[in-house]
Amino acid sequence: MATVDKIRNGLIDKILTIRNKQFLEAIDQLITSSASENEIVELSDEQKQMLKMSEEDIQNGSLISQDEMDKRNLEWLNAM
């Protein structure tokens, strides 16, 4: 049986490929309505490391705009 992390990461991978706005809004509503406000989320060591790296990128100014990221993603998808 898959671990919670594997299931979560698989869902994230699938969600990233969805382009249908209404479908994504429905998923968002489903997740929002089922999430408990009092639930404490435990981060894995890898997630903590990624957050630390993100903070370092912000402090160092190593950022790109959302438009640039969208452009890179389209280029990557078109290359496939």
Residue 27: which residues within 8 A CB-CB, separation 6 or more? 15, 18
* pLDDT (0 to 100) of residue 33: 80
Look at residues 46, 49, 58, 63 and name the one whose alpha carbon lies nearest to residue 9: 46
> How much is the mean pLDDT over the chain?
89
pTM: 0.42
Average pLDDT over residues 5-34: 91
Q: How confident is the model at residue 39 (pLDDT cuts 50, 70, 90)?
A: confident
At 47, phi and psi to the nearest 5? -65, -40
Distance CA 19, CA 73 (A): 13
Q: Which amino acid is at 52?
A: K
Q: Per-residue pLDDT for 73 more than 90?
A: yes
